[in-house]
Chain A
């Protein structure tokens, strides 16, 4: 590992500028910086290869299962799937499912977070423990009893039944996050409103909610993204083609029609993933750090 970082920004003969960072202080530190970057790049390459397959195969007229430069670059894969049955209806169903889940979850968790954040109640602690426990449950393990329960309720293949279930499973995490966001809003403003005769609900909608709008947006996007990406729940609970979301529709690309058209599969994957990637960027903006999701999850 030789120290070869030619400083291209400095013209020869310039007086050495004062060092800005400690990392440049010694040759050893500089070497370790290069070594770190190289190892990091290697790991990055290992991570990017499977992603690269999706990108390349989507534009390849003869895509196979392996990463290769497209035989001929084409948009055919996209144009072929641009119809209601293959793409638009599943995406619309995904949207309905995720939107419904996110709206219900956010409303319920804002309401629930208010007393949990503002009052000292006897069952506050046990409730929070219950919520925390709920965030931990492996939901996938529950799908068999959930299926049986949906049969009993006659809710199978109902979009709204699935939305309510998804909302219930995302509520523990959403309440936890919302309460933490709400805790950071000072209570003094509400106290002023109370003195002026506002009820708790008025104070919540007029003062607390506007103040914690970014926090609510983060929770909303978090829940929306999870519902959008969820495969197993709609896979078990929805089976008629008209109500299947994209996650399940994409699986039938893969499973049922004999030979897999990898190009179209990849093209569909991209159309289906773009909204989530966009929402993730939005969350980063809202919270001003790339660690927003993890930070919020950590409480």
Chain B
């Protein structure tokens, strides 16, 4: 970092200098990137590459296979794809993502954002604070709070009792429903904030003009507001999907993936296989599948955000 003075006048330098000097200059200019790149390569790209490789071995947590795993090719994947439990987990993951993120968080978040626009100021302030607090809290605290809510002698059953309805052991009988509602509770604030910000940027004049022309409230919402904030919607759909795909703590605290594997989404299943059943190679294969799934979503998301990079 001695001669960074080269950078001095360089920003819009058309660069007519000889090639080697340009390369040297480019390297020098990008040298501040180095610490970040080293960290990213070692601790982020490293595990991903290792994930691809490790899934091709029979590594285990203890015993001889822990120190010296053998290369076994695609056996883990063959075993994985032949395992009905894995497919069940894929379905559970999809149900979890679609029901809690795409439908639950997004619809409720949009609903809250719309209600906030018309509601009384103090109500708006109080409710938005409550919703945001449930999102800002550490995930494990939120998970405890929801565990207590859904537990057999928990709040939900007591409140149902007041209404004369017989409760049930929600975490055992309908674990997926419980974790889906929990994730909606936990994550809706994010969608609410994104949509509130988006709605605030829609100029009211257009909607008012349509109102004068006799458009109903619903028509104005679907024909004017929604198209105008469609970029926020697609961004938010992708972000909530990716966040929900990675949810572990909430499910682990509330149901631990159980009973049995009734609520084991892919991250939970990978953890169970690797650490409960000591099949690191097998768990790594599940991790790889999840990463690929996340990667595919990420590519769609990046396509949507392309203009911001350019």
A44 near B130 with CB under 8 A, answer yes
227-246 of chain B: CB within 8 A of chain A = 232, 235, 238-239, 242, 245-246
A171 near B40 with CB under 8 A, answer yes
CB contact under 8 A between A201 and B4, given known A128-B309, A142-B47? yes
Interface size on A, as a range, is 35 or more
CB contact under 8 A between A141 and B291, given known A114-B32, A168-B44? yes
CB of A293 closer than 8 Å to a CB of B = yes
CB of B110 closer than 8 Å to a CB of A = no
Instruction: Encode contact with B along A245-265: 1 for CB under 8 Å, 0 otherwise.
Output: 001001100100000001001
CB of B257 closer than 8 Å to a CB of A = no
CB of B137 closer than 8 Å to a CB of A = yes
124-145 of chain B: CB within 8 A of chain A = 124, 126-128, 130-134, 136-142, 144-145
B123 near A142 with CB under 8 A, answer no
Which of chain B's residues have a CB closer than 8 A to the CB of A141?
A: 245-246, 266-267, 270, 287, 290-291, 294
Main secondary structure, interface of A, reads helix
B81-89, B99-107, B150-158, B218-226: which lies at the interface: B150-158
Provide the bound-state CA to CA distance between A108 and B5, in Å.
Answer: 21
B43 near A254 with CB under 8 A, answer no
Provide the bound-state CA to CA distance between A125 and B6, in Å.
Answer: 22
B280 near A148 with CB under 8 A, answer yes
Chain A's nearest CB lies how many Å from the CB of B81? 17
Interface Cβ pair total, 8 Å cutoff: 313
Chain B's nearest CB lies how many Å from the CB of A42? 9
CB contact under 8 A between A142 and B287, given known A33-B120, A40-B112, A43-B112? yes
Provide the bound-state CA to CA distance between A231 and B42, in Å.
Answer: 22
Chain A's nearest CB lies how many Å from the CB of B67? 9
A111 near B36 with CB under 8 A, answer yes
Which one of A44, A68, A164, A236 lies within 8 Å of B43 (CB-CB)?
A164
B153 near A64 with CB under 8 A, answer yes
Instruction: Encode contact with A along B33-66: 1 for CB under 8 Å, 0 otherwise.
Output: 1111101101110111011001000010000001
Binding site for A on B (CB under 8 A): 1, 4-5, 7-12, 26, 29-37, 39-40, 42-44, 46-48, 50-51, 54, 59, 66, 108, 111-112, 115-120, 123-124, 126-128, 130-134, 136-142, 144-149, 151, 153-155, 157-158, 185, 190, 193-194, 196-197, 232, 235, 238-239, 242, 245-249, 252-253, 266-267, 270-271, 274-275, 280, 283-284, 286-288, 290-291, 294-295, 297-299, 301-302, 305, 308-310
Of the A-B pairs whose beta carbons lie under 8 Å apart in the complex, a sample of 27, sorted by A's number, is: A36-B115, A40-B119, A40-B123, A43-B131, A51-B145, A66-B154, A68-B158, A108-B36, A108-B39, A115-B29, A119-B29, A128-B309, A132-B302, A133-B295, A133-B299, A145-B288, A148-B54, A164-B43, A194-B8, A199-B7, A199-B8, A231-B138, A269-B144, A269-B145, A273-B138, A277-B133, A277-B136
| Interface contacts beyond A40-B116, A204-B32: sample of 7 additional A-B pairs, CB < 8 Å, sorted by A | A65-B155, A129-B309, A138-B246, A144-B287, A164-B42, A229-B139, A251-B253
Nearest 6 Cβ contacts at the A-B interface:
A136-B298, A168-B43, A138-B246, A141-B290, A229-B138, A44-B127
